[in-house]
Structure 1
Amino acid sequence: MKMEILPDANAVARRAAEVIAAQAREAVAARGQFLFAVSGGRTPWLMLRELADEEVPWDKVQLFQVDERIAPAGDPDRNLTHLQESLLTRVPISPSQSHAMPVEESDSEAAAKAYAQTLEKLAGAPPVLDLVHLGLGPDGHTASLIPGDPVLNVMLADVAITGVYQNRRRMTLTYPVLNRARSLLWLVTGADKAGPLVQLHAEDPGIPAGRVSQKSSLVLADTAAASEFINH
Structure 2
Amino acid sequence: MTVIVVESKDDVISKLCEIIETTAIESIQNKGLFLIGFSGGSLATFLSKGLPKIKTKDFSQWRIFFCDERLVPVDDADSTYGLYKRSLIDSGAVALKEEQFIQIKQGVSAEDAATDYASQISKFFPGSSLPTFDMLLLGMGPDGHTCSLFPGHPLLNETKRWVAPITDSPKPPPSRVTLTFPVINNARVCVFATAGKEKADMLKRILVDQEKLPAARVQPSTGKLLWIVDREAGIHLNKH
TM-score normalised to the size of structure 2? 0.89
In the alignment, structure 1 residue 130 sits paired with structure 2 residue 119: no
- 8 Å Cα contact 1:45/1:82 also seen in 2: no
- 8 Å Cα contact 2:70/2:80 also seen in 1: yes
Which residue of structure 2 lines up, in the alignment, with residue 114 of structure 1?
Answer: 116
Counterpart amino acid of 1:107? Answer: S
- 8 Å Cα contact 1:9/1:43 also seen in 2: no
Question: In the aligned structure 1, how far is the partner of 2:237 from the partner of 2:163?
Answer: 34
Question: In the aligned structure 2, how far is the partner of 1:191 from the partner of 1:202?
Answer: 16
TM-superposed CA distance for 1:94, in Å, is: 2.9
Which residue of structure 1 lines up, in the alignment, with residue 148 of structure 2?
Answer: 144
TM-superposed CA distance for 1:23, in Å, is: 0.8
Question: In the aligned structure 2, how far is the partner of 1:72 from the partner of 1:153?
Answer: 29
Question: In the aligned structure 2, how far is the partner of 1:9 from the partner of 1:35?
Answer: 26
Bigger mean CA deviation after superposition, 88-97 or 217-226 = 88-97
Q: Percent identity over the alignment?
A: 30
Q: Which has the higher helix share?
A: 1
Which residue of structure 2 lines up, in the alignment, with residue 96 of structure 1?
Answer: 99
Which residue of structure 1 lines up, in the alignment, with residue 160 of structure 2?
Answer: 156
TM-superposed CA distance for 1:87, in Å, is: 2.0
State the Cα RMSD in Å. 1.8
TM-superposed CA distance for 1:50, in Å, is: 1.2
Which residue of structure 2 lines up, in the alignment, with residue 201 of structure 1?
Answer: 207
Question: In the aligned structure 2, how far is the partner of 1:71 from the partner of 1:200?
Answer: 31
Question: In the aligned structure 1, how far is the partner of 2:195 from the partner of 2:104?
Answer: 26
**Residue ranges of structure 1 left out of the alignment (5+ in a row):** none
Residues 130-168 of structure 1 deviation map (CA, whole Å, 9 limit, x = unaligned): 000011112111111111222212111111122222221
Equivalenced residue count is 231
TM-superposed CA distance for 1:218, in Å, is: 1.1
Where in structure 2 are the equivalents of 1:1-232 lying within 5 Å? 1-56=1-56, 57-89=58-90, 90-102=93-105, 104-124=106-126, 125=128, 126-162=130-166, 163-169=168-174, 170-201=176-207, 204=210, 206-214=212-220, 215-232=223-240
Counterpart amino acid of 2:87? Answer: S
Counterpart amino acid of 1:167? Answer: P
Bigger mean CA deviation after superposition, 192-201 or 209-218 = 192-201
* Stretches of 4+ aligned residues off by more than 6 angstroms: none
Question: In the aligned structure 1, how far is the partner of 2:202 from the partner of 2:125?
Answer: 31
Question: In the aligned structure 2, how far is the partner of 1:73 from the partner of 1:66?
Answer: 16
**Residue ranges of structure 2 left out of the alignment (5+ in a row):** none
